[in-house]
Structure 1
Amino acid sequence: MIFSDRQYAVSKDEAAKLKQALEHVRSDTQKHARLREIEVKALESQILDIEREITEYDLLKSGAVTFGESFSLADLPRVLIQARISRGMSQTDLADALGMKPQQIQRYESTEYMSASLSRLIEVAAVLNVRVSESFSADTSAADGALYAWSDAQHVDWSRFPLKEMVKRRWLSGVNLMEAARDYFLEAAGPQFATALHRKKVRSGNAPNEYALLAWQARVLQLARNEMAHGKLGEFELNDNWLSGLVKLTRDENGPRKARDLLRRHGIALVFERHLSGTYLDGAAMLSPLGHPVIALTLRHDRLDNFWFVLFHELGHVFLHLFGSLRLDFFDEEDGNGSDGIEREADKFALDRLIPEDVWRKCLSRFAMTAEAVKIDAERLGVDASIIAGRIRKERNNYMILNELIGSGTVRSQLEEAQP
């Protein structure tokens, strides 16, 4: 883990040198192909590890992650370090707050606080606003940029799953529901989805129930696996040139159903599952165990404008973030805070793919805000009127206008019928 700006600079320099070495190995035709392949994979692995640490430090330093929760005492040292960075404090700042020398904080962090007494850990936690539940919270909303991870699936408290709701939805059955929940999760998702390999980054205006997130993710991955088992998914390529065809489907009355088919052909599983109480979700993007992108929608708001924006937002995560060095599963509430750089990128991706910014600025309906003006612009741009109406309502923060154009009650029935 990177502890300071100096280490950050060293890591950036090291990553650059490793990339140069990688290019040299790739171009070395004198070396045996098998040996060259081994060296390439080793260098790529080192680069990914360093880039992951760099990106994590960027997120913490910028304030994009303002809340993190861990579920093992062994993770407390890392939580303390993350909390310090997220609060914009250097090691010297923390030392000053504790009346200590900076070198002592450096020693603590370099050894992951192994030499610190319990009383000292309590002091550090108090300064950094780290709660007993092994989480840290910045002064902003705890839900904005929340990050959840367990060290190991064995640390999951299965009794905290929404067991009654899972039974009601027929995900679980039996006498021992805690054991059934554990078996369900491990079979549907796998233990890796409860570890740092699949940290859950949550954009929400409300503090989510992390166990409901886990249960919902397991269900989503189970549905995606069913599609893969039936051979419905094509090969995925990190190429978004086909999205113009998806935009055209917004004008089709069966657009949501056809969108699912189009995504399937391009190797992306699109599944629907109602959100669980306490999750406040509209959509999510994650990688399946086999490496296929999975986009899940809750249709919490059964409207066309919401469907298309959330879908393109999650596609933004797929093409911009999902295959990056920082392994995250993205859980999004449409009305969550937009201060997070990663979420702003996904928002911009969605808006620009649906209606490019330079085109949007010329739309008369932005100012006239009448149904007739919206329909004229929609016809000219080749998108459904709900796209324009929803964007106007969002920008004006007025959800009482253009109600007749947002396609209320037209999405859920299509996706529920089509889902296996």
Structure 2
Amino acid sequence: MSINQQLGYTPDHASPPGDLIQEYLDHLGISARELARRCGRSGKLMAEIAAGKAPIEPETALQLERVLDLPASVWIAMEAAYQLHKAREAETEALENSYEWATRFPLKELAERKLLTRQSGKSEQVRELLRFFGVGSVKACDERLGDLLAVDFRTSTTFKNDNLALSAWIRIGELRAASIETADYDRDAFLAALREIRELTLIPINDALPELERKCAAAGVAFVLEKPLPKIRVSGISRWLSPRKALIQQSLRHKSDDHFWFTFFHECAHILLHSRKEIFIDMAKGPGSADPKQEAEANVWAADFLVPTAAMRSFVLTFAGGEDEVRRFAKKQKIAPGIVVGQLQHNEVIGFAALNNLKVYYQWTDE
């Protein structure tokens, strides 16, 4: 790595190799045509090189090495630096024209999470956003956004969705997951881990999360809990990062324990039951497509895994609406009472305002 690369130095100018050739011509007192004759090239080509209108090709560099006694590598390096400078100037202009596009992303929030830096220059800010998404151009970024939104994610119609903010949140999950070491995915190991994770609903979330993450990773699934960005209503996504590594990412959008755990097991169901190439979307409006049957399958699987259907039906037959009844049933099922309440509400056994005091509500540390 050169000292310029180490220091992040980018020259704001670069001279074409033709300038140096012209200095040699002046020093030797010969014309471009004479130099061309000595090199065995056409006079027109050498005149264009000297004027910076034509590039120095490797063959020409070797000929100049012999005639002017300056290594071919120097000529090639000068040409490369000049061409790179011209490309950078052209790119800067193009990126400046894309600045308005970049401002549609939640730049402030991404900077606060130290995922990118705010830049004063328009082109520099667009470059920083492209770096965040891991792409080389605005066109490539637009294509990448389509890929990022083609995932399985649970959402709530209570919150307004912004697709650009959503794509940024999904990208954060990718970046976080990249630092999580996981074993190769093993379906049986994942199912075994989920049976152990189910009992984590009984302990405080801060104590449960490290164990949840560890158990998932040991089965080939990265778990990421990432605070939602403004204007998005996603609760969770599940996707495959590679054939051997899956990702479950949650936002804690609704901060109750029943919603958090149901979302988690819903995403687990998609990983267990459905194709790794499928796209599942549970939202009123948005990108992609969803098979309602698969969404229903994930809901049924998650509900039954948390509270066995037969046990819930039996409980509902004698349920009189009391808190103590819920607590005793939840204790027998080794599950948090709030999860039982959530299912009773969803099944319209009780109203959505009933027994919410049995739920646990989480809060981000910076709130």
Q: TM-score, normalised by structure 1?
A: 0.53
Q: Distance in 1 between matches of 2:318 and 2:257?
A: 19
Within the alignment, does 1:347 sit opposite 2:299 as a pair? yes
Among 246, 253, 256, the alignment partner of 1:300 is 253
The answer for the alignment partner of 1:227 in structure 2 is 180
Q: Distance in 2 between matches of 1:365 and 1:388?
A: 15
Question: Structure 1 residues 285 and 351, CA, compared in 2 at 3 Å: closer, same or farther?
Answer: same
> Can you give the 5+ residue segments of structure 2 that lack an aligned partner in the other structure?
1-97
Among 303, 315, 320, the alignment partner of 1:368 is 320
1:359 to partner: Cα distance: 1.6
Question: Structure 1 residues 170 and 333, CA, compared in 2 at 3 Å: closer, same or farther?
Answer: farther
Question: Structure 1 residues 383 and 317, CA, compared in 2 at 3 Å: closer, same or farther?
Answer: same
Q: Distance in 2 between matches of 1:167 and 1:366?
A: 54
Say if 1:286 and 1:294, in contact at 8 Å, map to a contact too: yes
Map residues 136-285 of structure 1 onto 2, 5 A cutoff: 157-175=101-119, 176-186=124-134, 193-195=144-146, 199-200=150-151, 203-204=154-155, 205=157, 208-228=161-181, 233-239=182-188, 240-242=190-192, 243-253=194-204, 254-285=207-238
Say if 1:163 and 1:177, in contact at 8 Å, map to a contact too: no
Question: Structure 1 residues 216 and 366, CA, compared in 2 at 3 Å: closer, same or farther?
Answer: farther
Say if 1:313 and 1:346, in contact at 8 Å, map to a contact too: yes
Query: Across the two proteins, how many residue pairs are aligned to each other?
Result: 248
1:181 to partner: Cα distance: 1.0
Out of 393-402 and 301-310, give the one that drifted further: 393-402
1:366 to partner: Cα distance: 7.5
Say if 1:285 and 1:331, in contact at 8 Å, map to a contact too: no
SS at match of 2:110: helix
Q: Distance in 2 between matches of 1:349 and 1:172?
A: 39
SS at match of 1:368: coil
Letter in 1 for 2:305: R
Letter in 1 for 2:341: A
Q: Distance in 2 between matches of 1:379 and 1:272?
A: 27
Question: Structure 1 residues 361 and 318, CA, compared in 2 at 3 Å: closer, same or farther?
Answer: same
Letter in 1 for 2:337: A
1:364 to partner: Cα distance: 4.2
Say if 1:283 and 1:331, in contact at 8 Å, map to a contact too: no
Among 318, 329, 341, the alignment partner of 1:377 is 329
1:261 to partner: Cα distance: 2.0
1:257 to partner: Cα distance: 3.4
- Which one has the largest radius of gyration? 2
Letter in 2 for 1:241: L
Letter in 1 for 2:191: N
Q: Distance in 1 between matches of 2:149 and 2:187?
A: 20
Say if 2:105 and 2:164, in contact at 8 Å, map to a contact too: yes
Q: Distance in 2 between matches of 1:197 and 1:214?
A: 6
The answer for the alignment partner of 2:268 in structure 1 is 315
Question: Structure 1 residues 373 and 359, CA, compared in 2 at 3 Å: closer, same or farther?
Answer: same
Q: Distance in 1 between matches of 2:318 and 2:126?
A: 52
Say if 1:364 and 1:377, in contact at 8 Å, map to a contact too: no
Among 399, 403, 415, the alignment partner of 2:352 is 399
Letter in 2 for 1:387: I
Within the alignment, does 1:387 sit opposite 2:339 as a pair? yes
Q: Distance in 1 between matches of 2:317 and 2:358?
A: 13
Within the alignment, does 1:358 sit opposite 2:307 as a pair? no
Question: Structure 1 residues 280 and 366, CA, compared in 2 at 3 Å: closer, same or farther?
Answer: farther
The answer for the alignment partner of 1:125 in structure 2 is none
Q: Distance in 1 between matches of 2:203 and 2:148?
A: 39
SS at match of 1:269: strand
1:290 to partner: Cα distance: 6.6
Q: TM-score, normalised by structure 2?
A: 0.59
Map residues 129-140 of structure 1 onto 2, 5 A cutoff: none
Q: Distance in 2 between matches of 1:384 and 1:275?
A: 25
1:197 to partner: Cα distance: 8.7
Deviations 1:218-266 (A, max 9, x none): 11111111113xxxx2221123531222222222343343222211221
The answer for the alignment partner of 1:59 in structure 2 is none
SS at match of 1:227: coil
1:184 to partner: Cα distance: 0.6
Question: Structure 1 residues 332 and 164, CA, compared in 2 at 3 Å: closer, same or farther?
Answer: farther
Q: Distance in 1 between matches of 2:210 and 2:217?
A: 11
